[in-house]
Amino acid sequence: MPLRWLAVPALVLAVAGSALAAGCPPLYSGSLTRLHAKDSIDLCQRFAGKPLVVVNTASFCGFAPQFKGLEALYQRYKGQGLEMLGVPSNDFKQESGDGAETAKVCYVNYGVTFTMTEMQKVRGPDAVHLFKILAEQSSSPKWNFYKYVVDRQGKVIGNFSSLTKPDNPEFIRAVEQALASRP
């Protein structure tokens, strides 16, 4: 009889866990390793139901000063629930292969506090799942610092070129639209 009582809570937890996984948008399937750390970011657990900006980055790109503007945008809206995910990539041959060097550029040189991952492929058949889904919903990154604004349902509501600065009014409107979206 005691075993039956132990099985009921386990069954409830299993059903709840699978319901959570089933309710997660395809964009958030999987996990990515945090920059210069050993832990992983469970994309569903971390970002599902939240407005999100995703940007592919490169430490040695001429657009790297956008880190400052992205951080300012994150600071401005994080209290309203905005999440930001920076994904370093060497797809355009402007990122270090050394996570420690990339971390120094992001965290020390530019003061980034938003979530950053280890280097990933963001274009083509070898792209990580996140960027495959972003491309399906909009387009693949054309260059470094290509920005995606994602609503609370995990749908891209805007994508912006490297030339679009983080203080661009159209970009900010898309972020505010994502913030206003319903889960």
What tokens does 18 get? 């699978």
pLDDT, tens only, 63-79: 999 999 999 999 999 99
> Which positions are catalytic?
61
Distance from C-alpha of 144 to C-alpha of 105, rounded to nearest angstrom? 15
Is domain 25-180 in CATH 3.40.30.10, yes or no?
yes
86 three-state secondary structure: strand
Distance from C-alpha of 95 to C-alpha of 60, rounded to nearest angstrom? 6
Taking all residues of the chain, what is their mean pLDDT, rounded to a whole number? 90
The pLDDT, as a whole number, for residue 183 is 87
Write down the pTM of the prediction: 0.87
Is residue 9's pLDDT more than 70?
Answer: no
